[in-house]
Amino acid sequence: MTEASPTRRRRAGGRAAGAARAAAHVIDQQPWRLPRNNDRPTEPLTPEGVEALHKGAMRILSEIGIEFLNEEAVGYLREAGCKVEGQNVFFDPEFVQEMVARAPASYTITPRNPDRQLIMGENVMLFGNVSSPPNAWDLERGKRPGDMETYVEFIKLTQYFNCIHFAGGYPVEPIDVHASVRHLDCLFEKLTLTDKVAHAYSLGKERVEDVMEMVRIAGGLTHEEFEASPRMYTNINSVSPLKHDFPMLDGAMRLARRGQPVVVTPFTLAGAMAPVTLAGAVSLSLAEGLAAIALLQWIAPGCPVAIGTFTSNVDMKSGAPAFGTPEYMRATQMTGQMARFYGLPMRASGVCAANVPDGQAMWETSNSLWSAVQSGANMVYHAAGWLEGGLIASPEKFVMDCEVIQHIQRYFEPQMLGVTEDDLAFDAINEVGPGGHFFGCQHTQDRYQEAFYGPFLSDWRNYEAWRLDGAVWTAERAHKTYKAILGEFEPPPMDIAIRDELADFVARRKSEGGAPTDF
């Protein structure tokens, strides 16, 4: 348990029951829901294109192979009949497809609060917080390295917003806490300050095992109950091109064996770690992703997995990564087609290259979020708070992104699309007549409260009213909103005995030295 966050300690515990009520004070947000995306996906590839990308991926797997920097994994794959040369594993396409076919098309993930259960798959679209930036930035404090105080702020925002479904990786890396025990403090905060699905980094045996144990304790579960169904997840990245490293594979296998989901997300930047052509970058990404999924399905048949995309492009002048570009959007849509081809749930992201929460940040993020919608993605990582290509987490951006995510979730609501007699409103149109106004008519009065999306951050007043009220630009409004949220935040309820058990576990593991830091 960290000492860096005294406010957390003061607020946690007995006052939890008031959380929902208190939260309602700051902003009027949309309700928690599992949004379903009924739109037909945008499919830039023809059926022949899908076949070509599949064959491209299979050819990479069978003729070039993937390096697994993990002896245990290599051993399993040798046992499965794969040709192995050193750490390089060649995959027979039929084996890969057979293994991938074992993966469930959808599954639930149930955190300590069963009301926050997620469906991963079908046409459900889930959104998560920004994960893993080393730095934070806000309008008041500027850019600075992450610390536990800031980490806690983001965890509170993650819990607060109903449109955020899961608590992904650390929203900012708290470097003021020693790496050996950081996962213990971070997960303690995450599991007490949120009741949403949590993520474990695959960064060494001890961390993975500790986090699984803490999620089990937080859920009040026996070991058997924990392993009976998904309760948390990890995300692993390949070391593109063509490599999976030791700790990622180790963590993925540990979770898979215990029935916990693994999202496999290659990071293939076209022009850098991947070919400059989108078909090349996506087929490489698929090959890397499917290789890990084949391994996991071999050792734990039917284990829950998902395939992620993080294919974007670099600026060919500077080598800087770009996000939310036309290429990014098309790569995401193409991956969506391939995920459906393989019958796998899909992960995308809400990302940008901008350094501050301004216009560029929002058009890049909008592009990436809409491409996630268009691709039929099931899970959107980094959906709130990401800046500078993932090097900065910003609370203003978090709040602004949540407004956009709320737009998207409302956009999915089917009641908007009704075409009954009532919806067609013939009688109201007849009643109001030429040149009339609908505001006062009964048809409007009966429906106006739920008829339209109500924003919490957008300012729809005219210029003069907006100016009289201080002429506050969006980022500054978001700054005030995030502070107001933190000021009122109260953690979700948690049984005191469970909280104590978690705290005891953290204390014991700290006294044992935590995790090795020689990775």
Q: Which helix (H) or strand (E) covers residue 30, if one does?
A: none
Give the total of residues touching a copy of itself (CB under 8 A): 127
CA 350 to chain centre: 8
Contact segment (CB under 8 A) with a copy of itself among 2-10, 205-213, 216-224, 448-456 equals 448-456
Contact segment (CB under 8 A) with a copy of itself among 72-80, 166-174, 220-228, 308-316 equals 308-316
How big is the chain, counted in residues?
519
| Tokens encoding 41 | 């996906």
The single residue among 77, 294, 408, 506 that binds a copy of itself, judged by CB under 8 A, is: 408
The single residue among 224, 462, 468, 497 that binds a copy of itself, judged by CB under 8 A, is: 462
Q: Which helix (H) or strand (E) covers residue 19, if one does?
A: helix 19-26
Nearer to a copy of itself (CB atom), residue 473 or residue 519: 473
The single residue among 407, 480, 483, 510 that binds a copy of itself, judged by CB under 8 A, is: 407
The single residue among 319, 343, 513, 516 that binds a copy of itself, judged by CB under 8 A, is: 319
User: If binding is defined by CB under 8 A, does position 469 make contact with a copy of itself?
Assistant: no
Q: Which residues contact 247 (CB under 8 A, 6 or more apart)?
A: 202, 203, 204, 519
Contact segment (CB under 8 A) with a copy of itself among 71-79, 96-104, 189-197, 417-425 equals 417-425
Nearer to a copy of itself (CB atom), residue 100 or residue 404: 404
Instruction: Give the burial string for 367-404 (b: 16+ CB within 10 Å, else e).
Output: bbbbbbbbbbbbbbbbbbbbbbbbebbbbbbbbbbbbb
d(CA 358, CA 474): 8
d(CA 198, CA 154): 14
| Tokens encoding 499 | 């909280």
User: If binding is defined by CB under 8 A, does position 509 make contact with a copy of itself?
Assistant: no
DSSP annotation of 493:
P
User: If binding is defined by CB under 8 A, does position 326 make contact with a copy of itself?
Assistant: yes
Strand partners, 89: 66, 84
Do 250 and 70 meet the contact criterion of CB atoms below 8 Å apart?
yes
User: If binding is defined by CB under 8 A, does position 175 make contact with a copy of itself?
Assistant: no
Tell me whether residue 471 is exposed, middle or buried, using C-beta atoms within 10 angstroms of its C-beta: 0 to 12, 13 to 18, 19 or more. exposed
CA 364 to chain centre: 17
38 conformational bin, left if phi > 0, alpha if psi -120 to 50, beta if neither: alpha
Q: Which amino acid is at 142?
A: G
Nearer to a copy of itself (CB atom), residue 110 or residue 238: 238
Q: What is the CA radius of gyration of the chain?
A: 24
Report the nearest approach of a copy of itself to the CB of residue 326 (Å). 4
The single residue among 274, 290, 372, 383 that binds a copy of itself, judged by CB under 8 A, is: 274
Nearer to a copy of itself (CB atom), residue 318 or residue 511: 318
Residues 347-376 that bind a copy of itself (CB under 8 A): 353-367, 370
Looking from the CA of 416 toward its CB, the CA atoms found within 13 Å total 10
Q: Which amino acid is at 27?
A: I
Report the nearest approach of a copy of itself to the CB of residue 62 (Å). 11
The single residue among 45, 130, 172, 348 that binds a copy of itself, judged by CB under 8 A, is: 45
Report the nearest approach of a copy of itself to the CB of residue 19 (Å). 27
User: If binding is defined by CB under 8 A, does position 275 make contact with a copy of itself?
Assistant: yes
The single residue among 47, 81, 301, 436 that binds a copy of itself, judged by CB under 8 A, is: 436
> Which DSSP string corresponds to 342-403?
HT--EEEE-----SSSSHHHHHHHHHHHHHHHHHT-SEEEEEETEEGGGTEE-HHHHHHHHH
Residues 471-500 that bind a copy of itself (CB under 8 A): 471, 473-475, 478
User: If binding is defined by CB under 8 A, does position 418 make contact with a copy of itself?
Assistant: yes
User: If binding is defined by CB under 8 A, does position 136 make contact with a copy of itself?
Assistant: no
| Tokens encoding 48 | 């022949």
User: If binding is defined by CB under 8 A, does position 314 make contact with a copy of itself?
Assistant: yes
Nearer to a copy of itself (CB atom), residue 20 or residue 451: 451
Residues 47-66 that bind a copy of itself (CB under 8 A): 48-49, 52-53, 56, 59-60, 63-64, 66
Would you call 232 helix, strand, or coil by DSSP? strand
CB atoms under 10 Å from CB of 271, counted, come to 18
Contact segment (CB under 8 A) with a copy of itself among 152-160, 227-235, 252-260, 426-434 equals 426-434
User: If binding is defined by CB under 8 A, does position 320 make contact with a copy of itself?
Assistant: yes
Report the nearest approach of a copy of itself to the CB of residue 50 (Å). 9
User: If binding is defined by CB under 8 A, does position 413 make contact with a copy of itself?
Assistant: yes
| Tokens encoding 219 | 């859920």
d(CA 327, CA 320): 15
Q: By C-alpha distance, which of 264, 26, 333 is closest to 161?
A: 26
Report the nearest approach of a copy of itself to the CB of residue 317 (Å). 8
d(CA 61, CA 82): 10
Residues 94-133 that bind a copy of itself (CB under 8 A): none
The single residue among 178, 225, 452, 504 that binds a copy of itself, judged by CB under 8 A, is: 452
Would you call 237 helix, strand, or coil by DSSP? coil
User: If binding is defined by CB under 8 A, does position 327 make contact with a copy of itself?
Assistant: yes
The single residue among 27, 120, 217, 278 that binds a copy of itself, judged by CB under 8 A, is: 278
Contact segment (CB under 8 A) with a copy of itself among 19-27, 119-127, 191-199, 266-274 equals 266-274
From the DSSP assignment, how many helices (H) and strands (E) are in the chain? Answer: 21, 21
User: If binding is defined by CB under 8 A, does position 440 make contact with a copy of itself?
Assistant: no
Do 109 and 228 meet the contact criterion of CB atoms below 8 Å apart?
no
User: If binding is defined by CB under 8 A, does position 138 make contact with a copy of itself?
Assistant: no
Residues 139-158 that bind a copy of itself (CB under 8 A): 143
Report the nearest approach of a copy of itself to the CB of residue 445 (Å). 9
